[in-house]
Amino acid sequence: MGSIVRTVLKQRPADVVTIIFLLFLTVLTVIFYRDIPRAPFLISLYSIFLIIQVVIIKFKDDSRFLGLFYDIFFPVACVLVIFDSLGWLVHYVNPEDIDPILIRLDYMIFNNHPTVILERITSPLFTDILQIAYCTYYFIPISFGIFLLRNKQREEFNRTLFLILFCYYLSYLGYILMPALGPRFTINHLQTAELQGFIIAEPIQRLLNQLEGIKRDAFPSGHTGIAVLVLYLAYRFERRFFWILLPVVIALIFSTVYCRYHYVVDIIAGFGLTLLSVLLGEWYYERWLKWQSENGRSERI
């Protein structure tokens, strides 16, 4: 019994939430096995990542490389691989896209489509800048995590890692429950002008289209949710990073609509995603710290 407690105590909330979400996706794939063309592959994929998670928990202290793999590389791999797998899962689990509802809500708020309204301020250089801003989403969480590790802020890093992973998994759950393609696919025919960059916007767009494919990942906006969450964490733990990040995040959020990836209601939902992640995540994390402390004392006694 004592060995089981010690094993559990080694698991960070970040590890637990990853294991739970992988198990959830595995069970979901089994339930819809007949409807999902690549179900055997997905079950194998999720099982492999579950095994890797358990193994690195056990051996992470054996070398510096395994520690780095445990802290940075494996969480990043989980986020990317799980996200990529949604393209083979979401539409077969929930084939009803909610884009018509989102389009209607945007139109009710603005009396027009926001992506059409923004055509008035488009320019090739501006498009290039905002396309780059959109891509910073992929580096903001990693850079902040590395920053905390280099500053030897281990406790802050563990909390940050958990909250970020929790936010990612909540957004993925949102894609399953409320799949949406986004305005670049659904209302592109209403645009009166193509979104053209000066040098790099089109190559980036083509690369993202190839890498991401069609995931039905518009609602809620994960770009907004994750970026604002990291901004919140930076404000708590490292104000210098916060002030550097603030203009980047503002540009990133604006770019999601300007570059026609999201509806405005996706952005609003993205802020809600951050709030939900913080409220539920902080509540769970504090309970876990209390539980760990109490069980740690009982083990020493």
- What average pLDDT does this structure show over 219-225? 96
- Confidence category of residue 297, pLDDT binned at 50, 70, 90: very low
Of 187, 181, 190, 191, which is closest to residue 214 (Cα–Cα)? 181
pLDDT at 213 over 80: no
Which pLDDT score is estimated for 196?
85
* pLDDT at residue 35, as a whole number: 95
Q: In the predicted model, what is the mean pLDDT of residues 219-233? A: 97
DSSP 70: I
Cβ neighbours of 20 (radius 10 Å): 11
Would you say residue 299 has pLDDT above 80?
A: no
Q: Report the pLDDT averaged over residues 216-237.
A: 96
**Alpha helix (H) residue ranges in 38-139:** 39-59, 64-68, 74-85, 90-93, 99-110, 114-117, 124-135
Q: What is the pLDDT of residue 54?
A: 87
3-state DSSP assignment of residue 115: helix
- State residue 9's pLDDT score: 53
Residue pair 193/122 in contact (Cβ under 8 Å)? The answer is: yes
Residue ranges per domain, the chain? 2-300
Residue 291 has pLDDT above 70, yes or no: yes
C-alpha span between 236 and 92 (Å, rounded): 40
Contacts of 68 (CB under 8 A, 6+ apart): none
CA angle 28, 281, 262 (to 5 degrees): 65
Distance from C-alpha of 246 to C-alpha of 210, rounded to nearest angstrom: 29
Please give the pLDDT value at position 1.
44
67-119 pLDDT, tens digit per residue, is: 888 999 999 999 999 999 999 999 999 999 999 999 999 999 999 999 999 99
Q: What is the pTM of this model?
A: 0.92
Distance CA(110)–CA(117), nearest Å, equals 9
